[in-house]
Structure 1
Amino acid sequence: MDSNIRCTREQLITLMKVRGREGAAKLGKMFGDASALTEDYLKSSITEGLSGDPDDIAERKRLFGVNVIPEPEAKSFLRLMWEAMQDLTLIILMCSAAVSLILGLTIEIESNGWIEGVAILVSVIVVVLVTAFNDYTKEKQFRGLKNRIKEEQKFAVIRGGTVQQINIAEIVVGDVAQVKYGDLLPADGVVIQSNDLKTDESSLTGESDLIKKGPNNLMLLSGTHVMEGSGKMIVTAVGVNSQSGIIFTLMSGKKDMADDAHDDDDDEDEDLRIEDDTLSGNGEIDIEKPEKKKRLKEKSVLQGKLNKLAILIGKVGLCIAVLSLLVLIVRFCIETYAIGQLPWVPSHSRRFLGFVIIAITVIVVAVPEGLPLAVTISLAYSVKKMMLDNNLVRHLDACETMGNATAICSDKTGTLTTNRMTVVSSYLGKKLYPHDPVINDLSSNYIELLCEGIATNSSYTSKITPPPPENPDQLPGQVGNKTECALLGFVKKFDRNYDDYRKKITEENFLKVYTFNSVRKSMSTAIPKSTGCRIYTKGASEIILKKCSSIINSDGAVHDFSSEERDDLIRSVVESMASNGLRTIGLAYKDIDNYNLVNWEDEESVIDDLTCIGVVGIEDPVRPEVPGAIKQCQSAGIVVRMVTGDNLKTAKSIALKCGIISENDGFIVIEGKDFNRRIRDKHNKISLNLMSKLLPKIRVLARSSPEDKYTLVKGLIQSKNIQDVVAVTGDGTNDGPALKVADVGFAMGIAGTDVAKEASDIILTDDNFRSIVKAVMWGRNVYDSISKFLQFQLTVNVTAVITSFIGAASIQASPLKAVQLLWVNLIMDTFASLALATELPSPDLLNRKPYGRNKALISRTMTKNIVGHCLYQLTVLFLIIFYGEVLFDIKEGRANETAHSLVPTKHFTMVFNTFVQMQIFNEINARKIHGERNVLQGILKNPIFLIIFFGTIAVQVVLVEAGGIAFHCLPLDLDLWLWCIFFGAGELVWGVMLSYIPSYKLPKSWRFGTKPVEYPISEPDSVPDNRARVIISFRCCI
């Protein structure tokens, strides 16, 4: 370990605060240059990096800090309890209980007058404890998920002369890090080598243009995105000392100050950002605006519908509660003061308090505050299980949105194909080789030219690794860009080692690099030669060949390359390879005598007048499981579209193999430029009407740019006659806009860039299309689970509210007491959420059409079940309330209730017990929402449901037999218990009878929640820090 580090943490932080030319000047003044900073001050090496010595790494962590930004402190259980107590209905209940307790202790009507107040308080405490416990376990689970995402974040650094992928938390000051297109920078640093390196710093500085990094702008900042090029940097600040870390610390430690600053900067921010382009009134889309902007994103489909429904139910419950309160007060006043002519006495205050408590309990039962819990439990459970199916969910609401998906726009490479690329055909030296080339046909000069061009004109992070010693028969590993790996593997076929060329020509020797991007669709590298320089170029074969004016034959002689020869080559070689599903890559070069006279900024003139070396055909086989998965999607009513940069013939061949299209099916395979032409009107604006006519026919978009992909996705979502719920896959940096505008964005966990992952909702850890199908299944299961809970809860709500209201109007008291309804509320909210939201998905979920964007949240079948079961339950309850003493030979208890006596009766204990038993058995019915008759199917596969079912029965037995005055219960005889269970079990028989009523004959007005409430949410285009983020996005408005 070399402990002679000659700079301090403070000096490096000061350096990184200055940017541009000023920053370069400050670097020169403080340290000389980037090389001196690396070698002399930080005691690292530009070529070898740090030694990797553990003592040296530990010392650097001590001196400069660790690359970790501390998490906000987790909420304590007491804090969560306090937050749970902020619920308005619980506050009112606690106040009412306190008043009841005071009156019970001070006004001696009955010796046990204080018990009701205590019972309500105890019930509220139980509700608070359960809510806090659920929040605590939920937060713990998602902190674990966040930590897992962090653990999987790796970055490339050079240590001991070798490139290593290390966890970002292990990066230290002095590390030499390799940066490339698509990276999210995990630390601050100074550029020590740049190959056309450009970054997006809008998340930190608000600057919307890409910043070119080079001699005049050397500072790389953590939390910013590498949008183009590659290079190296020396790490100068990590963790809380990095620029994003400093901002995060200020936001966490001085929130009020930050808020004030934010308010002051509002106007400036508006100038810096361009609003999201939306459809104009005349049906046009203008997508030709910069993508660095503030986005507006709708709430998820299900959440919007739930919000609308919750608002409606809350209003109805409030109205009935107020009406109940008015009826009780008016009737009592008329009977007591007008008819009975009785004077006011203090004990009457207790009666009025009882009326208020009845009204509050109606609200408690009516308001579906259990919906957020049901959604959270269902999502949390599903997210945990989805990890096992290779879906890492970043945004929770994406899980249930996938259940509504009607369209999937999928990449080809790595998602539909194996992403294991191999050169299987080639055109070299003006000769076509359908298989491996014959080495003896080619001169050594030609082979040297070909191999040097491939080895140097590719990212040096792309490489072939040998099979592990324990499994020598395994295929060599491919690290980095798989297309480049295929070409590097092709070099080995000529008995050459690409590493030999790279050692001779290091990246520091490059004169200029034009890195690959979606616009140029090629990569070019200029390397010095003894007589000048040579530029090697590779890329899409049609594009490269059009820039060639000559061609080299097998003996190394260069000949003119006419347009007729070029067209013939494209037709006979390129199109032939593409028809077999091969990706074709053109290889070319150009020699320049005096590179000092070259204007490297004029790329068009530099990369022109090339000499064609050859064309290779790269095979990327379709994953064997993909055709079956796509067939499953089609059976599930989901349209799968392929979006690829490959040419039309390659794309069509792969689409046929995958089953996305079939011969003569009438669907369109179209290129991006043709797609763009056909959706624009005479003013060159994108027309919604033209798009709506074209989109239903498109199945494959070939030679597409990220802008084409964005337009396709946005059109599918906004088209009035389609309004698809769209899932999109992406792996590149420029896929960010499409991933963000989609309802659900899938990023590739293996091949995806950090930028794509940051823009996504779900990360596919295996880059496999089959995992998307599993996400659809889980999403539909979440949607169904919440619908099951909704069906169950609304049945309880309606029955309890009507029972309480009729009771208030007829016997001046609710047949169900406040403390009893709190227990029922606990059954509905927590226990039913757990029981119904943890059902495992079945393959049958993929045998029906998707719900889509405008499908009713409550279907006609569900409404039939809710109304039908409410009628059954109300009939049973009113029979017991008004005729119980006749039917069951028990003492009549209505007079006792009217007098508001605290002494319980068997009559109304039976009302309470029967009500609960009916809910418990109806929970079984609620497991099915599509009219199935066998509600017991699969029940043994859900142990959580069984535990809750029998556990609830057990607790109910205890409450009835031992609850006493606190729960307003008297122990029941065996025959009464059997009657209660009989009425409860009758729910199962009644449910089967309801299933015979055809739902399609019911009026369409029986559907509710057809359209979501739209709440635009401001979502920034990028995130100002590099920490993994899990956004829990559930909002329920009551």
Structure 2
Amino acid sequence: MAGRSEPPNPPQRQPSDLLEFDDERPIYYSGQRAPVDDEHMLERYDIDDSDWQQPPRPSVSYDEFVGGAGTAHPGAAASSPEYPRYADSDNFQDDRSYQGSYAAGGFDDRGMTSHIPHAKPTNRNSVLSMGGGFMGRMKNRLGMGPQYSEMDLPLTEAGARESRTESLAGTTPKKEKRHRKISKSTFKFGLGRKEVDPSTLGPRIIHLNNPPANAGNKYLDNHISTAKYNIVTFLPKFLFEQFSKYANLFFLFTAALQQIPNLSPTNRYNTIVPLALVILVSAIKELVEDARRKSQDKSLNSAKASVLKGSTFTEVTWIDVSVGDIVRVQSEEPFPADIVLLASSEPEGLCYIETANLDGETNLKIKQSIPETADLVSPGELSRLGGRVRSEQPNSSLYTYEATLTMPSGGGEKELPLQPDQLLLRGATLRNTPWIHGIVVFTGHETKLMRNATATPVKTTAIARAVNIQILMLVGVLLGLSLISTIGDLIVRSREQDKLRYLFYGGTSTVNQFFSDLVTYWILFSNLVPLSLFVTLEIVQYCTAFLISGDLDMYYDKTDTPANCRTSSLVEELGQIEYIFSDKTGTLTQNIMEFRQCTIGGIQYGDEIPEDKRATIENGEEVGIHDFKTLAGNRVNHPTANIIDQFLTLLSTCHTVIPERNDEKGTIRYQAASPDEGALVDGAVELGYRFIARKPRSVIIEHDGQEEEYELLAVCEFNSTRKRMSTIFRCPDGKVRLYCKGADTVILERLHKDNPFVETTLQHLEEYAVDGLRTLCLAYRDISDQEFEEWYEVYNTAATTVSGNRAEELDKAAEIIEHDLTLLGATAIEDKLQDGVPDTIHTLQEAGIKVWVLTGDRQETAINIGMSCKLISEDMTLLIVNEENAEGTRDNIQKKLNAIRSQKDIGAELETLALVIDGKSLTYALERDTEKMFLDLAVMCKAVICCRVSPLQKALVVKLVKRHLKAILLAIGDGANDVSMIQAAHIGVGISGMEGLQAARSADVSIAQFRYLRKLLLVHGAWSYHRVSKTILYSFYKNVAVFMTQFWYSFQNAFSGEVIYESWTLSFYNVLFTSLPPFAIGIFDQFVSARLLDRYPQLYQLSQKNMFFRTHNFFSWVLNGFYHSLILYWAGNYIYHWDKPQSDGKTPGHWVWGTALYTAGLMTTLGKAALISTQWTKWTFAAIPGSFAVWMVFLPAYASAGPALGFSLEYEGVLPRLFTDPTFYGMAIVLPVLCLLRDFAWK
């Protein structure tokens, strides 16, 4: 129990190594959390695929590993830990047994007072860790490692784990040279600044009321940053990111070539100026997005906290809170850092905290200071507090904490143990407690909250990667065209040497001429690659994100929460999702459970009863469901009145709920360890039995206006092995009575043979299961005083066992007394789903998306929720994997796989499958030799439920699927415990709800309700994918269609490198005249209406299967551009071939023809845009006809002003001849029609 003082002489602990269980010893665990914690798992898995060898895995439960309730340290019994004296800390040797509790899976009792060394820091900044090659080194130097930060190194750096594991085991790391993968996040921008993972260091010493001493340790400050850039890194990081895009790198190279004198056929600034504009637009967009992140960070960093300065509390900002500060936190305020609780306003240093933002749980938790500091309630007393805290180093384990507090005592020092009961984590909030005092132990990115979050990864979409490949293909085409033209020039020079003698006056060699021509033609044909493509895509994606954020259909008015698309560059992948990984509590559900129905003595009762299920009398028997009013009447004058009384008494007494009384209103608020217990107690209150007080050895209830006190004699706690809970009371009537509640399977097998209501109750349980309700059976037994006394001796012996197997002994003791029970009935609780969840999941499955639910709930709970939300249905075959060891898990999975494959081999029709696997089995299934087998089984199932999983396991499951399948993954959750999963997926979606904003802030998209995922994917996702695909393909097409005419012209100008079009007009083609149609298509086009996409979710598979952006789509658009360029050039050439004199007797000339051809090409590409636009809006009209209008205004203005100002002299005298030539108008109309006739016919 929190805050319980240790006995004067705690019993000596017996050595017990949790890693060396006897094979015949059964292993029990309490079911409170996953069977192993994150720190343990980090050392088991080599997710980097390096050659790190993992040691044998112990089979231990979570509570055996980290300690059950009241434990002092991981793996220990609930007695006080034996801490080494602080004075010994200066003489550490190379034995990490003290800290080995994290690494070895349990607490090693060998020599707790032995000398313990500082771990040898892992050399994470070796030459190898810079990554492969120059580009790898530069990426790491600039902080461009795309997946993880130093905060997440244990997940991603096998070598660090190995070194750490070896040092933890007391051995020296092997110094052999070997190749291994190094996390790209080893370096951040800082030119090789060495970063050491603090969790590999020795204990942290924090001095009380001694800021200079703490400052000397140079701990991290309390600054939090989720921004991508700062003032130093923006320029190098941004430029590196921009020029890692092949198109930008290509144009930078081309711009550099244009600066070589006498080689460029165009103006030397034709490429560098548009490229600079493109980079500028991208920079503005990046700065706007990063400014939004910094604004959120600033709001958090500038929050106010009260810090003890001298003998008074002074208000400072969070960013100024430092390690060692004593802080005061008021009710309803979040904790600014990780704090050790010293005292509170409540008696005995108690306080209540809410950890929804950390672990997804909304129920309040109790924390309690150690007795020695509980009276430090005034600033003066706190200011005189001396001593030091000897704390573990920062780590990601939310549920463990090891430290000691050394205080002056009687002229000497006294060392006191600190444990998780005293740790208040950043991200948690103080509730129902006026204030607390505490000392800061971890700040900023070293807090457990931030250690459980990874740095925002740089995610690249599949389409973006494909675009880079396609650009390389176009560059290959460009190089081929340049080589053909260069060779053509050399052939012409050799054949016509006599006629072209003037070209050889410089004495240029053939080799020099070859390279000179190659550069010329490279520059000439460089416009085949669309310069504005990436900036166009970025603006399209940014606007799409804005439209998503402004969609009122995804606005939740109850909390005034709109959708928010934080990462615009991923919007198209919303249309390609194949797997969704979802949290349950707070994501699928409201985390609100209600007592709906019960069956007592074979009679059903309920609160809201459908008309067709109301109770009636058939053949002299009562059938159907009675309302709760009938139940109240039956308590008085019905044959089952005594059973009803025992049933309701059990509900109101057999639990661990804590009542909180509001003295002003006289109301009671119940704080339950689980929503189920809270719902059962609330149900008892609704039915007239009110739990009003809990004392250390009794509980008090009230019914019918009278208070009754039940003396609590013993508690046999619930765990997932027992699946039941029992309490033994001495009741007001003097009898000793055992009350038991649990799963039907375990209760029914412990009943006395004479129970008249078993069959009826079983029938009712089946009805509840059909409705997706959570069920528990309730039973009791009267026990004689003699039997109880004999049993209590056994129980008391088990309860005081300190050899490490206390839970097992208590379970054995419970088995002795839990028999011959009398069945009272059963309860049915509804875990309130969010509105629209079942329909949403069903629709997503129809769209071809597989949904996996990853939850920390028990297996039965998870299955019930799966039924309620229609993730799994009655016609599905459930494949359950729930094993205690690796071999059993492997065999179970293999048998199921073999059975499915054998059905396939004989051509039998496969049943619809759903896989359910618990956290312990998942631990083994994720091992390297089993993971592929597990994945093969999982992908054969329509739905997968992983229960009892930890946050790290969630991320590992996502990474497993991501590593082996070429599928786009989406993860959705609402708590900080979902952040690692969200960031591991291609798309992360956060729910902005009761669980805080950590998930929403770390996600790519945040929404308020799960049901909004339907429109986000099926409508916005499908639209975005189609729009982006069409925008990219059109951008390639329009450049090929116009600029390939330069290549055809080479065959007529003796490969001289002559251009058809004026240089700046050429550059303005992408930037000005064809820039708007891609925006209109990419932002507003709708290939199918939202109504049809929602009605026919199967349409989503068009985008999911990448039907619009495959390789053949790219080549078909490029070939279409080639085809149009052929018609444009040769038909245009034929029209102007004879160059007939105009009315003044002069011929139009080269630049008149080139301008006319440019106009026809522009009309053709704009016409193509019109043909592929399926949704015509005012913006479409402004973009397509408007672009041609811009050209017709620009041409006369520029062609007049340019020559007058001394540039673009090619336009000298062109306008009068162009606009008076009927051929120009005919060409602008006829050529586009000829080009688009086939396209129109095909459409």
TM-score (norm 2): 0.53
Specify which of 742, 761, 770 is matched with residue 579 of structure 1.
770
Specify which of 269, 272, 277 is matched with residue 129 of structure 1.
277
Q: How far off its partner does 1:875 sit?
A: 0.8
* 2:807 alignment counterpart: 603
Aligned counterparts, 1:461-472, within 5 A? none
* 1:212 alignment counterpart: 401
Q: How far off its partner does 1:748 sit?
A: 3.4
CA contact (8 A) 1:669 1:699 kept: no
> Distance between the aligned counterparts of 1:164 and 1:784, measured in 2?
47
Q: 1:830 to 1:338 in 2, by over 3 A?
A: same
> Distance between the aligned counterparts of 1:952 and 1:704, measured in 2?
64
Q: How far off its partner does 1:218 sit?
A: 6.0
Q: 1:425 to 1:849 in 2, by over 3 A?
A: same
Q: How far off its partner does 1:893 sit?
A: 15
* 1:376 alignment counterpart: 538
Q: How far off its partner does 1:837 sit?
A: 2.6
Q: 1:426 to 1:444 in 2, by over 3 A?
A: closer
Matched, 1:544 2:743: no
Code of the aligned partner of 2:992: G
Q: 1:692 to 1:938 in 2, by over 3 A?
A: farther
CA contact (8 A) 1:668 1:699 kept: no
> Distance between the aligned counterparts of 2:589 and 2:1157, measured in 1?
63
Matched, 1:183 2:358: yes
> Distance between the aligned counterparts of 1:210 and 1:922, measured in 2?
61
> Distance between the aligned counterparts of 1:761 and 1:624, measured in 2?
22
* 1:925 alignment counterpart: 1171
Q: 1:709 to 1:165 in 2, by over 3 A?
A: same
Q: How far off its partner does 1:838 sit?
A: 1.8
Match of 1:121, SS state, is coil
* 2:1124 alignment counterpart: 872
Q: How far off its partner does 1:242 sit?
A: 4.6
TM-score (norm 1): 0.62
> Distance between the aligned counterparts of 2:994 and 2:543, measured in 1?
28
> Distance between the aligned counterparts of 2:1229 and 2:842, measured in 1?
44
Specify which of 673, 676, 679 is matched with residue 882 of structure 2.
673
> Distance between the aligned counterparts of 2:392 and 2:1156, measured in 1?
64
> Distance between the aligned counterparts of 1:821 and 1:874, measured in 2?
18
> Distance between the aligned counterparts of 1:140 and 1:465, measured in 2?
51
* 2:686 alignment counterpart: 493
* 1:563 alignment counterpart: 749
Code of the aligned partner of 1:424: R
Aligned counterparts, 1:100-249, within 5 A? 120-121=268-269, 124-145=272-293, 147-148=295-296, 163-166=331-334, 178=353, 180=355, 183=358, 193=369, 211-213=400-402, 215=404, 216=417, 236=439, 242=444, 244=446
Q: Which runs of 5+ in 1 are unaligned?
A: 1-19, 30-36, 44-63, 105-113, 186-190, 196-201, 249-272, 274-290, 468-475, 511-528, 898-903, 928-934, 999-1038
Aligned counterparts, 1:593-992, within 5 A? 597=800, 599=802, 602-606=806-810, 609=814, 616-630=827-841, 632-640=843-851, 660=871, 664=875, 667-673=876-882, 678-680=892-894, 686=930, 688=932, 692=936, 695-699=939-943, 701=945, 705=949, 724-731=967-974, 739=982, 742-752=985-995, 761-762=1003-1004, 764-811=1006-1053, 812=1056, 813-827=1058-1072, 831=1076, 833-839=1078-1084, 842-843=1089-1090, 844-845=1092-1093, 846=1097, 847-852=1099-1104, 857-858=1109-1110, 863-886=1115-1138, 905-927=1151-1173, 935=1174, 937-938=1176-1177, 951=1190, 954-955=1193-1194, 958-960=1197-1199, 962-964=1201-1203, 965-966=1207-1208, 968-969=1210-1211, 970-971=1214-1215, 973-974=1218-1219, 979=1224, 983=1228, 987=1232, 991=1236
Q: 1:686 to 1:598 in 2, by over 3 A?
A: same
Matched, 1:367 2:525: no
> Distance between the aligned counterparts of 1:905 and 1:323, measured in 2?
25
Code of the aligned partner of 1:638: I
Match of 2:1109, SS state, is coil
Code of the aligned partner of 1:673: N
Q: 1:244 to 1:799 in 2, by over 3 A?
A: same
CA contact (8 A) 2:838 2:870 kept: yes
Q: 1:907 to 1:739 in 2, by over 3 A?
A: closer
CA contact (8 A) 1:406 1:850 kept: no
Q: How far off its partner does 1:725 sit?
A: 3.4
Q: How far off its partner does 1:869 sit?
A: 4.8
Aligned counterparts, 1:340-359, within 5 A? 340=501, 344=505, 358-359=520-521
Matched, 1:308 2:508: no
CA contact (8 A) 2:357 2:427 kept: yes
Q: 1:311 to 1:622 in 2, by over 3 A?
A: same
CA contact (8 A) 2:1026 2:1108 kept: no
Q: Between Structure 1 and Structure 2, whose CA radius of gyration is higher? A: 2
> Distance between the aligned counterparts of 2:1144 and 2:477, measured in 1?
32
Match of 1:558, SS state, is strand
CA contact (8 A) 1:918 1:984 kept: no
Code of the aligned partner of 2:488: V
* 1:423 alignment counterpart: 595
> Distance between the aligned counterparts of 1:88 and 1:297, measured in 2?
19
> Distance between the aligned counterparts of 1:949 and 1:292, measured in 2?
51
Matched, 1:456 2:661: no
Code of the aligned partner of 2:831: D
> Distance between the aligned counterparts of 1:428 and 1:162, measured in 2?
46
> Distance between the aligned counterparts of 2:969 and 2:1160, measured in 1?
46
Match of 1:825, SS state, is helix
CA contact (8 A) 1:358 1:818 kept: no
Q: 1:815 to 1:168 in 2, by over 3 A?
A: farther
Q: How far off its partner does 1:332 sit?
A: 4.9
Match of 1:312, SS state, is helix
Aligned counterparts, 1:256-275, within 5 A? none
Q: Which is further off, 124-133 or 961-970?
A: 961-970
> Distance between the aligned counterparts of 2:82 and 2:445, measured in 1?
18
> Distance between the aligned counterparts of 2:663 and 2:1171, measured in 1?
57
> Distance between the aligned counterparts of 2:590 and 2:1121, measured in 1?
52
Q: Which is further off, 856-865 or 529-538?
A: 529-538
Code of the aligned partner of 1:425: Q
Count of residues in correspondence between the two structures: 832
Q: 1:737 to 1:393 in 2, by over 3 A?
A: same
Code of the aligned partner of 2:1162: V
Percentage identity across paired residues of the two chains: 14
CA contact (8 A) 1:732 1:753 kept: yes
Aligned counterparts, 1:8-27, within 5 A? 25=86
CA contact (8 A) 1:890 1:906 kept: no
Q: Which runs of 5+ in 2 are unaligned?
A: 1-80, 91-204, 212-219, 307-326, 345-350, 361-366, 372-390, 405-416, 555-561, 608-627, 700-708, 740-746, 781-790, 884-888, 899-923
Match of 2:1215, SS state, is coil
Q: How far off its partner does 1:632 sit?
A: 4.1
* 1:10 alignment counterpart: none
Q: How far off its partner does 1:445 sit?
A: 10
- Residues 893-932 of structure 1 deviation map (CA, whole Å, 9 limit, x = unaligned): 99999xxxxxx731222122322332333333344xxxxx
Code of the aligned partner of 1:803: T
Q: 1:372 to 1:491 in 2, by over 3 A?
A: farther
- Residues 869-898 of structure 1 deviation map (CA, whole Å, 9 limit, x = unaligned): 54234312322235415488669999999x
- Residues 454-480 of structure 1 deviation map (CA, whole Å, 9 limit, x = unaligned): 56369x9xx99999xxxxxxxx99999
> Distance between the aligned counterparts of 1:945 and 1:170, measured in 2?
58
* 1:471 alignment counterpart: none
> Distance between the aligned counterparts of 1:597 and 1:233, measured in 2?
33
Q: How far off its partner does 1:331 sit?
A: 3.4
Specify which of 223, 226, 230 is matched with residue 73 of structure 1.
230
Code of the aligned partner of 1:699: A
Q: How far off its partner does 1:163 sit?
A: 3.4
- Residues 574-629 of structure 1 deviation map (CA, whole Å, 9 limit, x = unaligned): 55433321123679999976998354873344466287998643213454534543
Specify which of 406, 424, 442 is matched with residue 578 of structure 2.
406
Q: 1:208 to 1:744 in 2, by over 3 A?
A: same
Q: How far off its partner does 1:777 sit?
A: 2.8
> Distance between the aligned counterparts of 2:1103 and 2:1146, measured in 1?
48
> Distance between the aligned counterparts of 1:455 and 1:379, measured in 2?
51
Match of 1:359, SS state, is helix
